[in-house]
Amino acid sequence: MILQQKTSNAIWGWAEAGETVTIKASWGASAKTTADNEGKWKLFLETPEHGTGHSISVRGENEITIQDVAIGEVWLCAGQSNMGWSTGNSFEAEGEAQVDLPNLRLFKSSREHWHEPLEENRDRLARWKPCDPESAAETSAVSYYFGKTLHEKLGVPIGIIQRAYAGTPIEGWMPWALQKDDPRALAHKQLMDANAERQREKQGKTDAKALAEFDVELEQYNTLINAGEKMKNAFRPLAPPIITQPADLGHQYPQNIYNAMIVPVRPYGIRGMIWYQGERNSKNAPQAAHYRKQLPQMIAHFRDSWHEQSAGHVAKDFPFQFTQLPSWNPQQTEPVEGIAASWAVNRESMRLVASKVSNTGMAVTIDTGDAVELHPKNKKPIAPPQSR
């Protein structure tokens, strides 16, 4: 694994109620706490400057030892499908076929969503991996090249936490309490609620049925994992099930992505975050213009909540870098694009956010897109860290 350098990293878990938990690190730091009445515990472990070859011992009634712990810079990488688009499916993938960077650490998890905040993800195959041809190929191209660039330029271990989910609106990546007074977010939620009600009444897609089917599929998943299976087929690894209907339990409903993709990893110690999302919020020009309000709202919440839950050890204004939408569709023939040019409106929304929100950076990708593909394969130019 890898921990953020020169800070106190949040480490948390579960034990018996009232159980004493002690963590000791090979570099000499230690911390102790007691599990609460529900068996939950969290403490903060100081880390030195960057280095490798460390270990951590977590001791309560039993003991867990984590070997090969690196100390360096950790970045969270989140967004929708273009953030998740793998290195192996991108241009220049052959250039990474022999990569061997053991101190570039990659953590990729399956996409999950849930209607309530999750304490722990269900993906049992997700783990820190050293960067080699296999882990590089399966990792998001944008986050991989970003991490590799930092690793090579800074000369320190780098950790990349990939949390991507295709087809998700920004409303799904924020708690509902943050959006409840936003008319457009409320309209989106009402549409999802209406779809859910229709699915219940006309298609029999009730909550009880959906949750029961989910439980059966989850048990099947866990049984396969317990038996040592890792692959669903020759190309796809096993992943926990997801619910698609009714719509209010689905992946486009407000808060549902946040509950499963952000809450379980917060407040892991990070230096900053990169974000690639916006396509799903650019169906029309008014929606794309509204992104100018939503993106700063999300940035502020992530910064504030990470800072608070990390007891102030994650910076309240940590760097937040985002990717402007690339070109898409055939070349323009008219001098003015008009109201239909929603992606252009979203690009302008992002530009304005980058100019007004402190400690942000924007990757301009207008020349990396594709006339046909929604998922352009030219991801490498996006990755170098941005600065203003």
For residues 195 and 288, membership in a common domain is answered with no
- Strands (E) located in the chain: 2-4, 8-14, 20-25, 30-34, 40-46, 51-59, 63-79, 101-108, 128-131, 158-164, 272-276, 320-323, 360-363
Nearest to 258, CA basis, from 111, 143, 124, 97? 111
In a domain, 37, yes or no: yes
Residue 342 pLDDT exceeds 70: yes
Lowest mean pLDDT among 105-114, 156-165, 343-352, 365-374: 365-374
Residue 146 maps to which CATH number? 3.40.50.1110
For residues 163 and 186, membership in a common domain is answered with no
- At 191-230, the pLDDT tens digits run 999 999 999 999 999 999 999 999 999 999 999 999 999 9
Query: What are 203's two structure tokens?
Result: 């298609």
- Residue percentage of the chain with pLDDT more than 70: 97
For residues 318 and 287, membership in a common domain is answered with yes
Residue 243 pLDDT exceeds 70: yes
For residues 20 and 90, membership in a common domain is answered with yes
Query: What are 87's two structure tokens?
Result: 């290195």
- Give the residue from 236, 253, 270 where a domain finishes: 253
In a domain, 388, yes or no: no
DSSP letters for 329-385: SSPP-SS---TT-HHHHHHHHHHHHHHHSTTEEEE--TTS-BSS-SS-S--GGG-SP
For residues 8 and 111, membership in a common domain is answered with yes
For residues 71 and 163, membership in a common domain is answered with yes
In a domain, 224, yes or no: yes
Quick one: pLDDT at residue 234?
Answer: 83
Quick one: pLDDT at residue 388?
Answer: 42
Are 138 and 118 spatial neighbours (Cβ–Cβ below 8 Å)? no
- At 261-306, the pLDDT tens digits run 999 999 999 999 999 999 999 999 999 999 999 999 999 999 999 9
Average pLDDT, the chain: 94
In a domain, 313, yes or no: yes
Mean pLDDT of the 242-251 span: 97
Rounded-to-integer distance, Cα 232 and Cα 221, Å: 10
Residue 129 pLDDT exceeds 80: yes
Residue 313: HSE in the Cβ half-sphere, 13 Å Cα cutoff: 22
- Give the residue from 197, 227, 253 where a domain finishes: 253
Residue 85 pLDDT exceeds 90: no
Nearest to 172, CA basis, from 191, 162, 183, 185? 185
Residue 341 pLDDT exceeds 90: no
Residue 81 pLDDT exceeds 60: yes
Burial group, residue 349, by CB count within 10 angstroms (0-12, 13-18, 19+): buried
Query: What are 28's two structure tokens?
Result: 């000499």
Confidence of residue 372 (pLDDT cuts 50, 70, 90): low
In a domain, 350, yes or no: yes
CB atoms within 10 A of CB 147: 30
Rounded-to-integer distance, Cα 299 and Cα 318, Å: 10
Residue 64 pLDDT exceeds 60: yes
- At 12-46, the pLDDT tens digits run 999 999 999 999 999 999 999 999 999 999 999 99
In a domain, 387, yes or no: no
Confidence of residue 386 (pLDDT cuts 50, 70, 90): low
Mean pLDDT of the 137-141 span: 94
For residues 140 and 48, membership in a common domain is answered with yes
For residues 304 and 246, membership in a common domain is answered with no
Rounded-to-integer distance, Cα 315 and Cα 261, Å: 20
Mean pLDDT of the 142-166 span: 96
For residues 99 and 155, membership in a common domain is answered with yes
Residue 241 pLDDT exceeds 60: yes
For residues 231 and 370, membership in a common domain is answered with no
Residues 6+ apart with CB under 8 A from 335: none
Full residue range of the structural domain in which residue 245 is found: 180-253
For residues 236 and 320, membership in a common domain is answered with no
- Give the residue from 253, 272, 307 where a domain finishes: 253
In a domain, 146, yes or no: yes
For residues 138 and 55, membership in a common domain is answered with yes
pTM given for the model: 0.94
Domain count, the chain: 2
The size of the chain, in residues, is 388
Any idea what the Cα angle at residue 378 is, between residues 374 and 380, rounded to 5°?
135
